Structure 1
């Protein structure tokens, strides 16, 4: 396996994981929000819709789709994929920017604060918030490096 094949595999895999992660968490979030009245009745918890949260995961989905399209366009047409790589870099950077704002305001516990509007010492929520931030950062770096590689190649 040469370097071009490996880079193609990494881009396709990373885009798929980003689409899955962003979509999965967004679907879970919207499902829980749609059941918020029942959750309040059964558990006494109030759940809130967060525009930051929705924007983060929609930009992750858009970034993953753009990475996928860029890679497939390069494989099939030989097209550089400037537009789609730029969209991926911008979209993933927006997600990291919003997550950074959330982490500045609420710490690594931003994930729980967006759901419940409380700050507790739940280690699982710290872990989830940090892992989503770490993965978004890695995807932003990957998409920016991919854009740099495309620009330098031409």
Structure 2
């Protein structure tokens, strides 16, 4: 997502991004899971158990709906985003979460945006007002779980 203009609000500060954490390093996850979509949960201390093929295996316990949640490390008292949650799993009966490696993809994306190769450079974007209607939710998966798609 490329914004047409910067967000200029004094109380909205972007998080810095940091390098991929090493094995054993402490991390934290802030997520909105399926059963608490209106309030975030902060797991302050969990750890990097392993780094494998561009993925992080974390001791953080997450639930369905946590995909995309930021994984933070603290550097000089300031939080930095080092990964995002992509899945939950069990390793030897122990709940873990999987995070992606952000360094290379973010570097490539920033290079594209710096050269004007973002979507706004290729498209004539115009705002359009539409009449609000009751949204429809379509669910896939059994027992109320799985993916949900909202369509206006």
TM-score, L = length of structure 1:
0.22
Higher relative contact order structure (alpha carbons within 8 Å, sequence separation ≥ 6): 1
TM-score, L = length of structure 2:
0.22
* Larger gyration radius, structure 1 or structure 2: 2
